[in-house]
Structure 1
């Protein structure tokens, strides 16, 4: 297996796949002041940019090579932030990126007219960045941050309609389907595992 190390060339694209959605999330509130269409197109644009960055990595999926890039994160603790682009992570990154992009395109019409869409776009971009961080991280600490970010974004997105009594049922279907099994689990039944 050929390993490409460093921070040049294709390694930059591995970083951009997960960093671009976070940049989009960070600026979406400011962009929203310019207008709702600009906000919506900016969110879709950042999702597309992440997907295009992931697409540039496809040659890694069909070759016997990988990209491994690290930078000093917290030098005092000797912690490094890094990405690993191997065939499996490249395939997963493309799957996440392109499905997310399609969801963003669909959301522009489906969510049109909803209140607080800036919050929706923020958490959608945050979700993509976190998911890509899970896929591309090269260490457990970054994987943990990505995992927690996915959980936070999922929680926020499931509760998006928390003020609308007609739509606040989202997320309760799982309780109906798995409710008995959930309440019969050792943690809820008071039994020790």
Structure 2
């Protein structure tokens, strides 16, 4: 019997099941970040608190502006490349097309916080820029057979990782990650993306 792909499994799920799986996955990533930091950090609370700095100019220059740049590139590619090159098997459309605005904000914020805490806050801080950026891209396994999506996620990973490399501020990467995800999710929910991919 042929094993089902991630895309096929997600297509069989209803909205409630998808929400539950998303939340469980992201909470697992968050717990992994906390457990990893407990073993790897010299001073757990001090090492975490040193990575969160609410500095408005820094958040704008290294979080919001890079996030908007990634969005412009993404949207340009979506409308310039053939649909098959940017198709993730309909997973993102399935995840976001019927979701409420509050749910979109909540899920994309949870994704940004949990993934940035693990990949930048722990892995980047302890093992460096390249290791964390590559592992972040590999985590998006469904993109590995789609060259445009793979290059896109690698670019975003290294770009956001560079913002962390420059600032050492997790809030910067969380803002950039959240901005990218939430705008693309709303684009899928209310814009043309969902119409194109369906």
TM-score class, shorter-chain normalisation, is under 0.3
Under a length normalisation based on structure 2, what TM-score does the superposition of the two structures give?
A: 0.27
More strand by share: 1
Between the two structures, name the one with larger relative contact order (CA 8 Å, sep ≥ 6): 2
More helix by share: 2
Structure whose CA Rg is larger: 1
